[in-house]
Amino acid sequence: MTHQPPIARQQPQELTRHGHTRQDPYFWLRERENPEVLAYIEAENRYTEAMMSHTADCQETLYREMVGRIQETDQSVPTRRGEYFYYTRTEAGRQYDIYCRRRGSMDAPEEILLDPNQISAAEELDFLEVGIFAPSPDHRWLAYSLDTSGGERFTIRFKNLETGEIAPEAIPDTLTSGEWAADSRTFFYTTVDEAWRSSKLWRHAVGRPAGEDRLVYEETDALFELTLYKTKDEAYLVLWCRGLETTECRVLPAAQPQGAWVTIEPRRRGHRYKVQHRGGRLIILTNHEASNYRVVTAPAATPGLAHWEAWIPHSEEVTILDYEVFAGHAVLYEQHQGLHRLRIIDLASNKDHFVSFDESVFALEVNDYEDTSDRNPDFHSHVLRFIYGSLATPSQTYDYNMVSRERVLLKEEPVLGGFDRENYVTERLWATAADGERVPVSLVRRRETAPGPDTPCLLYGYGSYGASFDPLFRPRYVSLLDRGFIVGIAHIRGGREMGQRWYEQGKFLNKKNTFTDFVACARHLVAEGYTSPGRFAIYGRSAGGLLMGAVINLAPELFRAAVAGVPFVDVVSTMLDDSIPLTVGEWEEWGNPRDETFYHYMVSYSPYDNLVAGEYPAILATSGLNDPRVQYWEPTKWVARLRTLKRDGRPLLLKTNLGAGHSGASGRYDYLREVAFEYAFILDQLGVPGG
Instruction: Note if 627 is an active site residue.
Output: yes
Is the CB of residue 378 less than 8 Å from the CB of residue 80?
A: yes
| Partners of residue 226 on adjacent β-strands | 241
Distance CA(190)–CA(203), nearest Å, equals: 9
How far out from the chain centre does Cα 23 lie? 33
Give yes or no for a contact between 456 and 485, defined as CB atoms under 8 angstroms apart: yes
CB atoms within 10 A of CB 592: 20
Q: If you write DSSP's letter for every residue of 383-441 in order, what string do you get?
A: EEEEEEE-SSS--EEEEEETTT--EEEEEE----SS--GGGEEEEEEEEEPTTS-EEEE
Residue 549 in 3-state DSSP?
helix
3-state helix, strand, coil in the chain (%, to 5): 25, 35, 45
Q: Given its phi and psi angles, is residue 213 left (phi above 0), alpha (psi -120 to 50 degrees) or beta? A: beta
Strands 98-103, 110-114: pairing is antiparallel
- Selecting among 314, 340, 524, 662, the annotated active-site residue is 662
How far apart (Å, rounded) are the C-alpha atoms in residues 148 and 127?
5
474: CB partners within 8 A, 6+ apart: none
- Taking alpha carbons only, the member of 217, 326, 310, 313 closest to residue 276 is 326
Beta bridge partners of 130: 146
* Separation of alpha carbons 406 and 230, rounded Å: 28
SS3 category, 15: strand
**CA distances for 338 relative to 343, 369, 442, 444, 607, angstroms:** 16, 18, 10, 16, 29
Catalytic, 542? Answer yes
Long-range contacts: 76-79, Cβ < 8 Å, 24+? 76/411, 77/385, 77/397, 77/410, 77/411, 78/102, 78/106, 79/374, 79/375, 79/377, 79/385
Q: Rounded to the nearest 5 degrees, what angle is found at the Cα of 675, between the Cα atoms of 677 and 447? A: 110
Q: Which positions ≥6 away from 603 have C-beta within 8 Å?
A: 572, 609
Which of 570, 627, 663, 666 is the catalytic position? 627
Distance CA 679, CA 477 (A): 10
Active-site choice (464, 542, 606, 623)? 542
Residue 177 annotated among the catalytic residues of the structure: no
* Whether the Cβ atoms of residue 102 and residue 111 lie closer than 8 Å to each other: yes
Q: Which residues contact 643 (CB under 8 A, 6 or more apart)?
A: 5, 7, 8, 652
Alpha-carbon distance of 118 to 99, in angstroms, equals 12
| Positions marked active-site | 542, 627, 662
